[in-house]
Structure 1
Amino acid sequence: MNVQGRTVAITGATGGIGRELCSMLVEQGASVLALCRSQAPLGTTHLPCDLSTVEGCDDAASRLAAAAPDVLIHLAGLQYAGPAEGQDAASLAALLHVNLYAPMRLSQAVLPHFRKSTGALVFVSSSFGAIPFPHFSAYSATKAGIQAYAEALRRELPPEVVPVIHIAPRGVDTAMNGTAAREIMKLSGSRMDSPRAVAGHILQALRRETPETYIGFPESLFVRLNALLPRVVDRALRKNVPAARALFTNP
């Protein structure tokens, strides 16, 4: 899909990847609707929203339906790194709303328009959705949910009218990944990509209307291994659990 002259809506536009992607889209002649709480990136139109509650998602869905974009990119996300029992209820609810409910609700809002005039849905999840990681349990679950939702929509919608694109980056060097998250990824040998590099992959997948993209090697290989031999991956990831848990128990 050529983005020139098209209206592209992006959630999470003020994040590390979001700002880079907004800049690239504006450079290529797209009109960008930035769905975010704070001030929108330069050259975009701000559509204020709070995706951490049901009410906020529903309000954003109404605004988005009225705006009638040509492309919707789901990029907003929250992360919790730590023992599963350590995440408080409010944090868990916000994570579920931003990572899972919002993409579903906002997709519902634009689909009637997309079915009539064509439009692309882009879901940016994570390799943790296909390789669920210890100490990222809720985050992994929401990303797996988005992967499944995108796949189901791809089978439901005519691809020539509404292409559905799913992209799963590995770790990204953004503020969302705090010290604990970075240490856990280091223990597993996971690498991190720059926000600009990931934004470039997203734009390329949109241009080519690539249904499924996993960014990075060997992560893309482990996605396939986890699908075929999950117990092998269980053993590999369990080796790092004691050291990772110590990050949250040591003073």
Structure 2
Amino acid sequence: MPSALITGASRGLGAAIADALAPTHTLLLAGRPSDDLDAVAQRLGATTWPMDLTDAESVEATVEVLDELDVLVHCAGVAYPGRVGESCLEEWRATFEVNILGPVALTLALLPALRAARGRVVFINSGAGRSPSPGLASYAASKFALRGFAESLRADEPSLRVTTVYPGRIDTDMQRDLVAYEGGDYRPERFLKPETVAAAVAGVVNTPADASVHELVIRPPG
């Protein structure tokens, strides 16, 4: 089976993407060691791939054994809710370390393996990467940067198929934190299910070889 490396696979959308790709791909689940990551790997018969996205040297050393990789899914991300005037530089640094510099470091380290497989790279972005909402200053900026990196990668590496997925708000722990910041009541039915977005990602990954999906926007109905 083709191989797929997924970041942020310990829970939420990343775990749902692992579930969706398990029937068709050999999975490498990348992330910091945790019981959650181990549980997902054990359930799916996958391999855990210990990695700290904020440590570029560690990322490069971790993946240098991979000669070919068919699919890379960037799903790991962090958000520190806050308007521009409420934010601090440390939060901006932490956000960019995980949301943009981590994916850049991992993609650069895996370029030879992806080129060898003429592989796919999927970036899980956000609606905030197209139109910022109040209270998500550093997060939106990092997602705009991620969008730019994905488009540059597509332009510079024509042998790869590069897709950016822009989901609306998803029922995850991150979403609960955002709603708490906004002072609202959390109602899961208002948001996309992780499994719904994961199914769309699997559709992108399994698109026949004669096509490439550049962008995919997913929103709740209404």
- TM-score class, shorter-chain normalisation, is 0.7 to 0.9
Q: Which amino acid aligns with 1:15?
A: R
Q: Deviations over 1:98-144 (max 9, x none)?
A: 10001111111111222233111111100101001121011001111
Structure 1 segment 25-174 matched on structure 2, within 5 A: 25-28=21-24, 30-37=25-32, 38-39=34-35, 40=37, 41=40, 42=42, 43-51=45-53, 53=54, 56-68=55-67, 69-158=69-158, 161-174=159-172
1:34, distance to aligned residue in structure 2 (A): 0.7
Bigger mean CA deviation after superposition, 63-72 or 175-184: 175-184
CA distance in structure 1 between the partners assigned to 2:140 and 2:46 by the alignment: 31
Q: Which runs of 5+ in 1 are unaligned?
A: 220-251
Shift of 1:217: 5.7
Aligned pair partner of 2:4 in 2, 8, 15: 8
Note the alpha carbon deviations across 1:174-232, whole angstroms, 9 max, x for none. 00113543674979xxx52011111111111111241110111679xxxxxxxxxxxxx
How far off its partner does 1:80 sit?
A: 1.3
Any conservation in 2 of the 1:172–1:192 contact (CA below 8 Å)? Answer: yes
* Aligned residue identity for 1:197: T
Give the deviation of 1:64 after TM superposition: 1.8
| Aligned-partner SS, 2:175 | coil
Structure 2 residue runs of 5 or longer lacking an equivalent are none
SS of equivalent residue, structure 1 residue 165: strand
- Matched residue, 1:181: 179
Q: Which residue of 2 aligns with 1:215?
A: 218
- Normalising to structure 1: TM-score of the pair? 0.75
* 1:200 aligned partner: 199
Distance in structure 2 (CA, Å) of the matches to 1:185 and 1:124: 26
Backbone CA RMSD of aligned residues? 2.3
Structure with the largest fraction of helix: 1
* Pairwise CA distance, 1:50: 1.9
Cα drift, residue 86 of structure 1: 3.0
Q: Choose 193-202 or 41-50, whichever is displaced more.
A: 41-50
- Residue identity in the other structure for 1:9: L
Corresponding residue of 1:222: none
Please give the alpha-carbon distance, in whole angstroms, between the structure 1 residues aligned to 2:117 and 2:164: 21
Letter in 1 for 2:137: S
1:165 CA displacement: 1.0
Letter in 2 for 1:45: T
| Equivalent residues of 1:10, 1:33 under 8 A apart | yes
Deviations, residues 55-110 of structure 1 (Å, cap 9, x unaligned): x2331232123224221100000011123243344433221111000111111111
